[in-house]
Structure 1
Amino acid sequence: MAGDAAKDLLSGTVGGVAQLICGHPFDTIKVKLQSQPVPFAGQAPRYAGAMDAVRQTIAAEGPRGLYKGMGAPLATVAALNAVLFTARGQMETLVRTEPGIPLSVRQQVVCGAGAGVAVSMLACPTELIKCRLQAQSALASGEAATAAAVATAGTTTGSTVVAAAIKYNGPIDVAKHVLKSEGGIRGLFKGLVPTLAREVPGNAVMFGVYEALKQFMAGGRDTSGLSRGALLTSGGLAGAAFWLAVYPTDVVKSVIQVDDFRHPKYSGSIQAFRKIAASEGIKGLYKGFGPAMARSVPANAACFLAYEITRSSL
Structure 2
Amino acid sequence: MASEDVKRSESAVSTIVNLAEEAKLAREGVKAPSYAMLSIFKSLVAGGVAGGVSRTAVAPLERLKILLQVQNPHSIKYNGTIQGLKYIWRTEGFRGLFKGNGTNCARIVPNSAVKFFSYEQASRGILYAYREQTGNQDAQLTPLLRLGAGACAGIIAMSATYPMDMVRGRLTVQTDKSPYQYRGIFHALSTVLREEGPRALYKGWLPSVIGVIPYVGLNFAVYESLKDWLIKKRPFGLVEDSELSVTTRLACGAAAGTVGQTIAYPLDVIRRRMQMVGWNNAASVVTGDGRSKAALEYTGMIDAFRKTVRYEGFRALYKGLVPNSVKVVPSIAIAFVSYEMVKDVLGVEIRISD
TM interval, shorter chain, is 0.7 to 0.9
Partner of 2:61: 26
Task: Tell whether 2:265 aligns with 1:227.
Answer: no
CA contact (8 A) 1:8 1:89 kept: no
How far did residue 90 of structure 1 move?
Answer: 0.9
Deviations 1:176-212 (A, max 9, x none): 21011011x2221111111111212211111111112
Is 1:49 paired with 2:80? Answer: yes
Q: Select 1:180's aligned residue among 161, 170, 194.
A: 194
Distance in 1, matches of 2:233 and 2:152, equals 24
Larger-Rg structure: 2
How far apart are the structure 2 equivalents of 1:307 and 1:70? 20
The structural deviation recorded for 1:230 is 1.3
Question: Residues 25 and 73 (structure 1 numbering): CA distance in 2 closer, same or farther, change over 3 Å?
Answer: same
Q: Which residue of 1 aligns with 2:180?
A: 166
Cα–Cα, structure 1 residues 226 and 100, in superposed 2: closer, same or farther, change >3 Å? farther
**Residue 112 of structure 1 corresponds to which residue in structure 2?**
150
Moved more, 287-296 or 88-97: 88-97
1:280 aligns with 2:312: yes
CA RMSD of aligned residues (A): 2.4
Maintained 8 Å contact 2:110/2:161: no
Find the aligned partners of 1:30 and 1:118 in 2 and give their Cα distance: 24
Shift of residue 23, structure 1, vs aligned partner: 1.9
Distance (Å, rounded) in 2 between the aligned partners of 1:96 and 1:5:
19
Stretches of structure 1 lacking an aligned partner (at least 5 in a row): 141-163
The 1-side partners of 2:98 and 2:138 are apart by: 42
Task: Tell me the distance in 1 between the aligned counterparts of 2:342 and 2:263.
Answer: 28
What does 1:254-269 correspond to in 2, within 5 Å? 254-260=272-278, 265-269=297-301
Shift of 1:101: 6.5
- The code of the aligned residue for 2:52 comes to V
For residues 160 and 73 of structure 2, the distance between their equivalents in structure 1, rounded to whole angstroms, comes to: 30
Partner residue in 2 for 1:161: none
Letter in 2 for 1:295: K
TM-aligned CA distance change 1:3 to 1:91, over 3 Å: farther
Q: CA separation in 2, counterparts of 1:127 and 1:220?
A: 40
Aligned equivalents of 2:104, 2:139: Cα separation in 1: 35
How far apart, in 2, do the equivalents of 1:123 and 1:200 lie? 16
Structure 1 residues 289, 125: closer, same or farther in 2, change over 3 A? same
Single out whichever of 213-222 and 21-30 deviates more from structure 2: 213-222
User: Which residue matches 2:204?
Assistant: 191
C-alpha separation in 2, matches of 1:10 and 1:101: 30
Show the counterpart of 2:3: none
Call closer, same or farther: CA 1:100–1:65 in 2, change over 3 Å.
farther
Match of 1:17 among 47, 52, 72: 52
For 2:165, which of 124, 127, 135 is the aligned residue? 127
Q: Which residue is 2:351 aligned to? A: none
The one-letter amino acid paired with 1:201 is P
Q: Flag the 1:103–1:76 CA change in 2: closer, same or farther, 3 A.
A: same
Quick one: which amino acid aligns to residue 200 of structure 1? I
SS of alignment partner, residue 62 of structure 1: helix
Percent of pairs with identical residues: 30
Residue identity opposite 1:89 in structure 2: E
Return the letter of the residue paired with 2:328: S
2:96 corresponding residue in structure 1: 65
Superposed, 1:150-165 pairs within 5 Å as 165=179
1:210 to 211, 223, 246: 223
Residue number in structure 2 paired with 1:250: 268
1:295 aligns with one of 309, 318, 327: 327
AA at the equivalent of 2:54: Q
Residues 116, 201 of structure 1: 8 Å contact kept: no
Alignment of 1:200 with 2:213, yes or no, is yes
Query: Structure 2-normalised TM-score?
Result: 0.75
Q: Counterpart of 1:46 in 2: which secondary structure?
A: coil
Which structure's relative contact order is higher, taking Cα pairs within 8 Å and 6+ residues apart? 1
Contact 2:179 2:279 in 1 (8 A): no
Tell me which moved more, 22-31 or 114-123: 114-123
SS at match of 2:58: helix
Maintained 8 Å contact 2:107/2:165: no
